[in-house]
Amino acid sequence: MIGRKKKNYDTLWRPIEALSESRTYIPLGNIQVRCPTCNSPEVGEYGTHARKDLRVEVFQCKNSHCEHLKTHITAKQFILTTSAQFKTLIIEKLASFFEELVIDGARQKTLAKKYGISEAQVSALRKELEHSLDQLDTSRTLVESPISDEAIAIDETFLKIEGASIYVIIGTGYYSHKVLGLKVSTSRSESDIREVFDEADCNTERPLSLVTSDALNATQSMVKNLNREIVHVIHPHKRPFKQAVIKHYQYEGNDRVTKTVGVKADFFKKKGKRQFRYTVTRTSLVSKKKGKRGRPKGSKTKKKTPEVKPKKTRGRKGLLTVFTKGKIGYATIDPYRDKLKVGKGTSSTVGPALNATLKLFALMSIQNNLAEHKNALLRIILRLSGPKSIHSIEKRIRAVFILRNNPHLLNKITIDRNIRGEFLILNLSLPEYATLIEKGLIM
């Protein structure tokens, strides 16, 4: 027989330790050494390498079918903390790390202190996460299945790209607190906000019946032109901050009936009798016929009479004019039981709008802070670096919110960075020892 006889390699095991609360190292047993590329147990010893003030043992993969040999001449070399089984333990610990980073929005300094690593290491792990987010399939919907939300909060924030402002428009479900609609654009026009609303509408089991927002004109126009019954709760971000406007759009034939209610922001916060102001306007949706071109017959010789124009009232016609021009109404509110009773003559007019708003803001002040909270988290979680475009930024932001809406997808994220063993030793608690034994990773 030609050639050397194939050597059979015994499985190698090496000890690992855990750090107890008293800062003493406790041996947990042995972990099997496997190739990080092919996960093969055919591994041999390959001397030692210098590492700071000590030397670490090196191993080499002996599997002739290892994927590493397709691109390299020599077999894969590695140490214990980069072996396959050790990486498995590290990834399990990183899952909780990334959950706190993406889901909870923890700050970099806080994570470094908790996990016993440097801020530079946290920053490096954040970059690895962002690289993995770029590889995540963002063609999927923001939620895996439609949810039961019937109300959303819409708000926008802006980012700077090479001196130019771009807007991130977010629609958040009120009950699930999940992002249901997202759009990154150079403007915040009515069509941009309509895209966010339409995406959110597709991600809910029933059509959306209520929208909350600030007083942006584009958002008001979008809700008004939906051509379906809906309630719009508006909390202006300007003085006086203690006022809110509720608009209820209904349709009767070819007319749109708009019922506007002006209330104080703490209208639903306590039990008692409250005063509000309201107006009702009717707008025809039928376009007027254009007249014939040219001058009407006989208008040249017709005797001209001065037109009597209606007297104009001074002042700006704004959102808050309902507080000065609207009729007065009263409502008795019990936010503890979600009950609201409107005075006679106004019950059918403003009752549905006030009752729909009560479901969201019982025992609370009216405000649009739900969507603003998502914008604040976005600035903490995402550190934009490298070449930037609207498409790349939207892809990155969408990936972040897909993970926030579906935390189980964190298990599919892989990190190529080699994490030192101290990360595991510092964060491996004694109760986890039993779990590791059950998985068969430690003997």
Distance, CA of 147 to CA of 405 (rounded, Å): 11
DSSP assigned state of 392 = H
Residue 244 within any structural domain of the chain: yes
Residue 428 has pLDDT above 70, yes or no: no
Residue carrying the six token digits 């009120």: 174
Same domain, 375 and 360: no
Average of per-residue pLDDT across 53-67: 88
Between 28 and 289, the higher pLDDT residue: 289
pLDDT of residue 438: 52
Same domain, 363 and 384: no
pLDDT of residue 330: 94
Distance, CA of 53 to CA of 15 (rounded, Å): 20
pLDDT of residue 443: 38
Distance, CA of 170 to CA of 400 (rounded, Å): 13
Between 92 and 391, the higher pLDDT residue: 391
Same domain, 385 and 356: no
Contacts of 416 (CB under 8 A, 6+ apart): 128
Q: Where are the beta strands (DSSP E) in 336-414?
A: 339-342
Distance, CA of 93 to CA of 104 (rounded, Å): 16
Distance, CA of 56 to CA of 49 (rounded, Å): 5
Residue 156 within any structural domain of the chain: yes
Between 180 and 131, the higher pLDDT residue: 180
Going by pLDDT thresholds of 50, 70 and 90, the confidence category of residue 442 is very low
Residue 311 within any structural domain of the chain: no
Residue 159 within any structural domain of the chain: yes
Same domain, 244 and 191: no
**Parallel/antiparallel/unpaired status of strands 210-213 and 230-234:** parallel
Same domain, 261 and 334: yes
Residue 303 within any structural domain of the chain: no
Residue 191 within any structural domain of the chain: yes
Residue carrying the six token digits 């969201």: 360
Query: Is the CB of residue 390 less than 8 Å from the CB of residue 79?
Result: no
To the nearest whole number, what is the mean pLDDT of the chain?
A: 81
Same domain, 394 and 424: no
Distance, CA of 216 to CA of 221 (rounded, Å): 9
DSSP assigned state of 136 = S
Same domain, 78 and 28: yes
Same domain, 164 and 51: no
Contacts of 69 (CB under 8 A, 6+ apart): 75
Q: Where are the beta strands (DSSP E) in 144-198?
A: 151-161, 164-173, 179-185
Strand partners, 262: 245, 277
pLDDT of residue 430: 47
Query: Is the CB of residue 217 less than 8 Å from the CB of residue 234?
Result: no
User: Domain range spanning residue 54?
Assistant: 13-104+417-438
Distance, CA of 328 to CA of 311 (rounded, Å): 24
Strand partners, 51: 54
CA-based nearest residue to 244, from 221, 223, 228, 268: 268
Residue 38 within any structural domain of the chain: yes
Strand partners, 154: 171
**Residue 433: left (phi > 0), alpha (psi -120 to 50), or beta?**
alpha
Helix (H, G, I), strand (E, B) or coil at 325: helix
Same domain, 144 and 99: no
Distance, CA of 228 to CA of 249 (rounded, Å): 7
Residue 427 has pLDDT above 60, yes or no: yes
pLDDT of residue 25: 59
pLDDT of residue 49: 85
Amino acid present at 90: I
**H/E stretch holding 148:** none
Between 421 and 235, the higher pLDDT residue: 235
| Lowest-pLDDT range of 112-126, 130-144, 264-278, 424-438 | 424-438
**Parallel/antiparallel/unpaired status of strands 43-51 and 255-264:** unpaired
Residue 432 has pLDDT above 60, yes or no: no
Residue 85 has pLDDT above 80, yes or no: no
Average of per-residue pLDDT across 294-310: 73
* DSSP-assigned states of every residue in 188-246: --HHHHHHHHHHHHHTBSS---EEEE-S-HHHHHHHHTT-S-EEEEE--SSS-TTEEEE
Residue 299 within any structural domain of the chain: no
- What are the tokens at 397? 């932001």
Residue carrying the six token digits 């808050």: 320
Tens digit of pLDDT for each residue in 157-212? Answer: 887 777 778 898 999 998 998 999 999 998 999 999 999 999 999 999 999 999 99
Same domain, 391 and 434: no
Distance, CA of 312 to CA of 81 (rounded, Å): 80
Cis peptide before 27 (omega within 30 of 0): no
Distance, CA of 209 to CA of 149 (rounded, Å): 9
Q: Provide the domain count of the chain.
A: 3
Distance, CA of 273 to CA of 248 (rounded, Å): 22
Question: CA torsion 317→320→326→329, rounded to 10°?
Answer: 170
- What are the tokens at 185? 């654009």
pLDDT of residue 26: 56
The most confident of the ranges 2-11, 369-378, 400-409 is: 400-409
| Lowest-pLDDT range of 44-48, 240-244, 309-313, 363-367 | 309-313
Same domain, 355 and 241: yes
Residue 156 CB neighbour total at 10 angstroms: 22
Distance, CA of 213 to CA of 275 (rounded, Å): 23
Distance, CA of 99 to CA of 113 (rounded, Å): 16
Residue 262 has pLDDT above 80, yes or no: yes
Residue 440 has pLDDT above 60, yes or no: no
Between 79 and 136, the higher pLDDT residue: 79
Same domain, 241 and 362: yes
Going by pLDDT thresholds of 50, 70 and 90, the confidence category of residue 1 is very low
